Amino acid sequence: MPTGAMTPPPAAQQPTETLIEFPDNRLLIDLCGEYDRNLADIEQKVGVQILRRGNQLAIHGEDGAREEAAQILSSLYERLETGKSVEHGDIDREIRMGGSEADTGTRAGDQLEMFKGGTVEIKTRKKLVEPRTDAQKAYVMSLFNNELAFGIGPAGTGKTYLAVAVGVSLFIQGHVDRIILSRPAVEAGEKLGYLPGDMKDKVDPYMQPLYDALNDFLPGKQLAKLIEEKRIEIAPLAFMRGRTLANAFVVLDEAQNATTMQMKMFLTRLGEGSRMVITGDRSQVDLPRGVQSGLRDAERLLSHIDKISFNYFTADDVVRHPLVAAIIKAYDADSERAQSDKDRRA
């Protein structure tokens, strides 16, 4: 942990810099990043200037910004001391969450080893996944605490990615026997015509985002073997009818494109020892005009039932390119203006 402290101000003037000392110079190099890119990232996002002086970092800027930058740097250094790396996503998480990890205290923390020490980490075969926003952290905790959980919000907020990561983590720890991933085979506003090949060839393009997530968490050969053994299944929603999904981690992605009857069918597949996650974006419904989204109906009908959690994301939780958040906010603002104009005319 850094040994330095903020330089006390003279009685008659405010401090102009905050100094933090880091005892391990090798870890300090990792903290700064190649060509000091980590420091540059913090400078840009927090609004400070950071200068390196031997094994010290001097932070210049407004009082609040200096304090925030010092907290971020200290937290990242502590992360390095535990043997973890510091990447862009880790900096982004510290800036968004402000060290709130230490306040985590839930049933999952008592039940699962991954939450020891109050941190929220999802361990998979290939990588360690950590929530980057408070909404993501609450979502991950709800996936462990509830047998049925909903994640609702715009694209790029990690709804499906985190759900698949939790599923893989529970699978490799032996908490579930299977992972079942599904989504409606609905085209996004364009007709692609008949696709060539057998049934797998026809439906795989719709399932590709689920394959992408799995490839991030499991080695290729192991993933292929698990799919061949049917211990991991990726199938269209229509293939779920008539099944009882027991001892499985089940994810329905793009649930806004499920009809009311499809949603009811899917939810009633939940079997003994299973957990189910429903993810969707209410602003991207691709169903035919006049067909009600099953996700909206599920919110209306199930929100009062205990042990069913609903977690919501906004553009502030987008963890893709920063422009994605700006794009979502622009569309949301336009939609609100259109609704306001409609209400005035009515």
Residue 278 has pLDDT above 60, yes or no: yes
pLDDT at 108: 39
Contact 91, 72 (CB under 8 A): yes
Cα separation, 135 vs 112, whole angstroms? 20
Quick one: average pLDDT of 50-70?
88
More confident residue, 330 or 162: 162
178-204 pLDDT per residue, tens:
999 998 877 544 444 555 555 566 667
Q: What CATH number does residue 136 fall under?
A: 3.40.50.300
Cα separation, 39 vs 48, whole angstroms? 10
* Together in a domain, 143 and 44: no
Quick one: average pLDDT of 35-48?
88
Residue 219 has pLDDT above 90, yes or no: yes
* Together in a domain, 52 and 198: no
| Through-space distance between the first and last CA atoms of the chain, rounded to whole angstroms | 62
* Together in a domain, 157 and 59: no
List the 17-21 sheet strands across, edge first: 17-21, 56-60, 49-53
Residue 283 has pLDDT above 60, yes or no: yes
229-275 pLDDT per residue, tens:
999 999 888 889 888 899 999 999 999 999 999 999 999 999 999 99
Quick one: average pLDDT of 153-163?
92
- In this prediction, what percent of the chain has a pLDDT beyond 90? 37
DSSP state of 97: H
pLDDT at 94: 84
* Together in a domain, 58 and 168: no
Position 291 in a domain? yes
* Together in a domain, 53 and 154: no
Position 324 in a domain? no
Position 106 in a domain? no
Position 243 in a domain? yes
Position 115 in a domain? no
pLDDT at 46: 87
More confident residue, 112 or 139: 139
106-135 pLDDT per residue, tens:
333 344 444 544 567 888 988 888 888 889
Cα three-residue angle 37-75-88, rounded to 5 degrees: 30
13: confidence class by pLDDT, cuts 50, 70, 90: low
* Together in a domain, 165 and 294: yes
- Tell me how many domains the chain contains: 2
* Together in a domain, 136 and 80: no
Domain hosting residue 48, numbered range: 17-97
42-56 pLDDT per residue, tens:
988 888 999 988 888
Q: What CATH number does residue 70 fall under?
A: 3.30.1370.10
pLDDT at 7: 53
Alpha helices in 257-305 (DSSP H): 260-267, 294-302
